[in-house]
């Protein structure tokens, strides 16, 4: 078993993986989750919008939300780790009045019966959680990407200049051969 010292080390290690600031998401919220997706060498941001039907382990570094939406008449559910580096941003668009943490009954409801009673909330205050460390890291990645693109352009320009030089030499030889 673990002793007290080991548990403290484990807790410190877990804290390093937590984001500095996260949005207070509750069951019944309608959210937009901005998720980074890698496809081969390309990256893109996909937005998944739906109703939060479950929140798990809120204070932990493994806190998770389950978001449900209807896509083409079929219910789609996705679970997101709130502190994952792949989840860029969670934006609460609507807050509803619910009395449970796990809204499993929403799976059976469709149409008007699936509506929840809306509650007024301060959108700017709820969505104002900004993780400074993540923003700095994203800015660094953007700068590195720009430098890499600049280096690639310089490399292509050098290759093109070399090809132009070779083409000029070949033309000069052809012109000299035609004179003889």
- From first to last of its 180 residues, what are the pLDDT tens digits of the chain? 668 888 888 888 877 777 777 788 889 999 999 999 998 888 888 999 999 999 998 877 788 999 999 999 889 999 999 888 888 888 999 999 989 889 888 888 888 888 888 888 888 877 877 767 767 777 888 888 899 899 999 999 999 999 999 999 999 998 888 887
Confidence (pTM): 0.66
State whether 77 and 150 are in the same domain: no
State whether 90 and 63 are in the same domain: yes
Planar angle of CA 30, 36, 37, nearest 5 degrees: 115
State whether 145 and 83 are in the same domain: no
Burial class (CB in 10 A: 0-12, 13-18, 19+), 28: buried
Please give the pLDDT value at position 1. 61
Residue 166 to residues 75, 156, 172, 173: CA-CA distances in angstroms? 61, 15, 10, 11
Where do the H-state alpha helices sit in 4-131? 4-16, 123-126
HSE of 11 in the Cβ direction (CA atoms, 13 Å)? 8
Give the end of a domain, one of 91, 115, 130. 130
State whether 120 and 86 are in the same domain: yes
State how far the Cα of 152 lies from the Cα of 150, in Å rounded to an integer. 5
State how far the Cα of 10 lies from the Cα of 28, in Å rounded to an integer. 33
DSSP, res 113:
G
State whether 148 and 121 are in the same domain: no
The structural domain count of the chain equals 2
Please give the pLDDT value at position 142. 84
* Domain containing residue 140: 131-180
State whether 111 and 137 are in the same domain: no
State whether 105 and 146 are in the same domain: no
State whether 126 and 151 are in the same domain: no
Query: What CATH number is associated with residue 17?
Result: 2.30.30.790
State whether 8 and 68 are in the same domain: yes
Residue 159: strand, helix, or coil:
helix
State how far the Cα of 120 lies from the Cα of 94, in Å rounded to an integer. 8
């Amino acid at each position: 078993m673990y002793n007290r010292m080991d548990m403290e080390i484990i807790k410190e290690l877990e804290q390093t993986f937590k984001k500095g600031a996260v949005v207070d998401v509750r069951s019944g919220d309608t959210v937009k989750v901005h998720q980074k997706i890698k496809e081969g060498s390309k990256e893109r941001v996909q937005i998944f919008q739906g109703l939060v039907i479950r929140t798990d382990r809120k204070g932990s570094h493994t806190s998770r939300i389950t978001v449900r939406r209807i896509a083409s008449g079929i219910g789609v559910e996705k679970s997101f780790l709130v502190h994952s580096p792949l989840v860029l941003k969670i934006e609460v668009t609507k807050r509803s009045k619910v009395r449970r943490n796990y809204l499993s009954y929403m799976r059976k409801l469709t149409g008007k019966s699936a509506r929840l009673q809306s509650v007024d909330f301060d959108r700017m205050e709820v969505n104002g959680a900004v993780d400074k460390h993540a923003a700095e890291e994203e800015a660094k990645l953007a700068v590195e990407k720009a430098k890499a693109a600049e280096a690639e352009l310089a490399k292509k320009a050098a290759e093109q200049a070399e090809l132009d030089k070779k083409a000029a030499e070949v033309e000069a030889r052809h012109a000299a051969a035609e004179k003889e």
